[in-house]
Amino acid sequence: METDSYMSELRERGYRITGKRREILGYLLRNDRYMSARELIEYMKDRYPTMSYETVYRNLKTLRDEGIIEESQFADNEAKYRMACQSGHHHHYICVACGQTMVIEHCPMPELCVPDGFQVLRHRFEVLGYCQNCRAVESK
């Protein structure tokens, strides 16, 4: 199972493997889209009644710091998370309704002439809209 390889990797970096950490990562793995901590908490509370939101927040932070998941803020004031892409650098079409993503292979960075003195840390290119599914729902 894919979760296991991530877990082994975490163990190698000195983290422990707990059922809850595994469950959180598993849910992110099974759902290839952006989701909020709140959403994750609600799901977890059902399936895993002793799961607390602090645990979710702490694990999300850990997973993000270890580069296993990505964080973005594209709606409201809450952060959203998804599995970090393992397959090379790219960007995303993001559905603002369901968080589903599609890959944008093209990265605009190589074409830029970065101004003298500006030190690039990171960049963000996101195309936001409705995916086919949510578009149908919205227009009904």
Partner DNA sequence: ATTAGTGCAAAAACTTTGCACGAGC
Partner DNA sequence: GCTCGTGCAAAGTTTTTGCACTAAT
Cβ proximity to its own copies, 4 vs 103, nearer residue:
103
- For residue 131, the Cα-to-chain-centroid distance in whole angstroms is 17
Of 2, 4, 19, 137, the residue at the interface with DNA (CB under 7 A) is 19
DSSP 13: T
d(CA 119, CA 39): 36
Using CB under 8 A, which of the segments 5-13, 39-47, 52-60, 109-117 binds its own copies?
A: 109-117
Cβ proximity to its own copies, 48 vs 57, nearer residue:
57
Using CB under 8 A, which of the segments 7-15, 21-29, 42-50, 110-118 binds its own copies?
A: 110-118
- 3-class SS at 15? coil
> Which x/- pattern over 68-107 shows residues binding its own copies (rule: CB under 8 A)?
-----xx--xxx-------------x-xx-----x-x-x-
HEC string of 65-116 equals: HCCCEEEECCCCCCCEEEECCCCCCCEEEEECCCCEEEEECCCCHHHCCCCC
Q: Considering the complex, what minimum distance in angstroms separates the CB of residue 50 from DNA? A: 4
